Chains A and B, each alone.
Chain A
Amino acid sequence: GEDVEQSLFLSVREGDSSVINCTYTDSSSTYLYWYKQEPGAGLQLLTYIFSNMDMKQDQRLTVLLNKKDKHLSLRIADTQTGDSAIYFCAERNTGGFKTIFGAGTRLFVKA
């Protein structure tokens, strides 16, 4: 069945770049999303990419998609303490309402 996998933890120093990785299994995935969850809050949509794109940049965020390897990454430039949160990768295929979420990567930013 469909599955989305992420590493559980990532620790970086303030000012460094963070790279959060995700792999998915559904080759028909069309839309891939990154959500951010801060403590006690819901998931906030950060950015998304269509499967016909390789890269999308939005301010400090860069999303890279390797469709051949079914690998998605989120790079956060100049990581700040306010970026500490859980980041979820999610995928959805064309014609499907169902969104599959990974288990989330907890990002720790050290000052």
Chain B
Amino acid sequence: DAGITQSPRHKVTETGTPVTLRCHQTENHRYMYWYRQDPGHGLRLIHYSYGVKDTDKGEVSDGYSVSRSKTEDFLLTLESATSSQTSVYFCAISSAGTGNQPQHFGDGTRLSIL
């Protein structure tokens, strides 16, 4: 299994509070991704990174920011959490952005915003 650790695994917080989720990889892969998974929607890309300090938006980036100061860590921040951000968040990594380099996933963080 790819060495991907997400923390925390579960979190419950209140509307309006800031939340940061962490993804840590030991594979030295260049690309990292944050997805959210909601019933009926599959996985939707929030943000991705193609290198240290290099990030870009995905299809559902509003209300989220990311940072990547080291190859191994990719942080997802909800500056002011809303109930619509209750979801399961998955981090993924890949060694290349193109070609047949499939993404490998962490075990997810279940986030509940009350």
Task: Indicate whether B84 reaches chain A with its CB closer than 8 angstroms.
Answer: no
A24 within 8 A of B: no
Q: A31-B100, A50-B100, A97-B31 are in contact. Are A42 and B41 (CB under 8 A)?
A: no
User: Are A42 and B42 CB-contacts (below 8 A) given A31-B100, A48-B102, A97-B31?
Assistant: no
| Residues A103 and B108 in contact, CB atoms below 8 Å apart | no
Interface residues of B (CB under 8 A from A): 4, 31, 40-43, 45, 48, 50, 58, 90, 92, 94, 97-98, 100, 102-108
Determine whether the beta carbon of B41 is less than 8 Å from that of A95.
Answer: no
Which residue in chain B gives the minimum CB-CB distance to A103?
A: B42
Cβ-Cβ contact count across A and B, 8 Å cutoff = 50
Q: Which of under 10, 10 to 19, 20 to 34, or 35 or more describes the interface residues of A?
A: 20 to 34
Contact flag A42-B107 (CB < 8 Å), given A97-B31, A97-B48 = yes
Q: Contacts A43-B90, A88-B42, A103-B42 known; A33 to B107 CB distance under 8 Å?
A: no
Residues in A neighbouring B90, C-beta threshold 8 A: 42-43
A–B Cβ pairs within 8 angstroms, 18 of them: A8-B40, A33-B102, A40-B107, A40-B108, A42-B90, A42-B105, A42-B106, A42-B107, A43-B92, A44-B105, A45-B102, A45-B104, A50-B100, A96-B98, A97-B31, A99-B102, A101-B43, A104-B42
- Judge whether A94 and B103 touch: CB under 8 Å: no
B94 cross-chain contacts in A, Cβ below 8 A = 97
CB pair A101–B100 under 8 Å, yes or no, is: no
Q: Within residues 76 to 111 of chain A, which ones have a CB less than 8 A from any CB in chain B?
A: 88, 94-99, 101-104
Known contacts A42-B107, A43-B92, A45-B104, then 16 further A-B pairs from the complex at CB < 8 Å, ordered by chain A residue: A30-B100, A31-B100, A42-B106, A43-B43, A44-B105, A45-B102, A45-B103, A48-B102, A50-B100, A96-B98, A97-B31, A97-B50, A97-B94, A97-B97, A101-B42, A103-B41
